Structures are given as structure tokens and as C-alpha cells.
Amino acid sequence: MEVVYKKLGLRIIADKASDDLVLIQKICSVLENLPKDIRNKVSKAVIKPDFYFAVELYKNKNITLGKFSNIVGLSIHDSAKLLEALGVKVELGAVSRRELEEELETAKGIA
């Protein structure tokens, strides 16, 4: 199996589809369709070692979208789009007082 992403300069070759490969293909497909400036920002976030860990933490509701955005270095909007493209349901807004306080701390750090 071989998949080529020309805009990214990537060629992926694999014997079989694994969960990791499917995730990588989803990310690459999303990146291919983004404007170049956004594609560059998202590419930098995806190669961070904490990226996949942060996705798992967000999926398991251990961190908020604001904290996820802070970890990967993207805006909340771009983070939400990236998570949605990966098939992760994005919840906007805090659902508890703790989450609200965490979102406020994250916002203070950005300002």
C-alpha cells in the first residue's frame, strides 16, 4: 500500500493498515486541504512529541480544548478543526467549574 501527499512532500508505504497509519493518513488528508500558512502551523503541531498524547487526553476528557490548544501550540479554532478531522468530538465551552478555571488560566497565559 502506498499513499502520496504531494503538497506535504510525503509518501507513505505500508504492508497493512494499522490504527497509527489510519491516523497519519487522516492528518495528512486534512493538511493537504488547508491553506499553506495554516498547513505549516498544523504540521509543526503534529510533529510535537506531545501531540498524540494530547489527543488521547482530550478524547478521554482529561484536558479541555484550551489546554489541548496550549499543548500543541494552535489556536482553539484550529485545534477544534484538527480534532474534528481526526474524528474526535469537540466540546466547546467548559462543562464544569474546574474546566472553566482551567480555560481562564490558559487564556491568561496566551494574553
Residue spans per domain, the chain = 2-110
Burial of 42 (0-12, 13-18, 19+ CB in 10 A): buried
pLDDT per residue, tens digit, the chain (111 aa), is 776 666 666 666 767 777 777 777 777 777 777 777 777 777 666 666 677 888 888 888 888 888 888 888 888 888 888 888 778 888 776 667 887 787 788 778 765
Residue of 76, 71, 46, 41 whose CA lies nearest to 57: 71
The answer to pTM > 0.75 is: no
Q: Please answer whether residues 65 and 90 qualify as being in contact, where contact means their C-beta atoms are separated by less than 8 angstroms.
A: yes
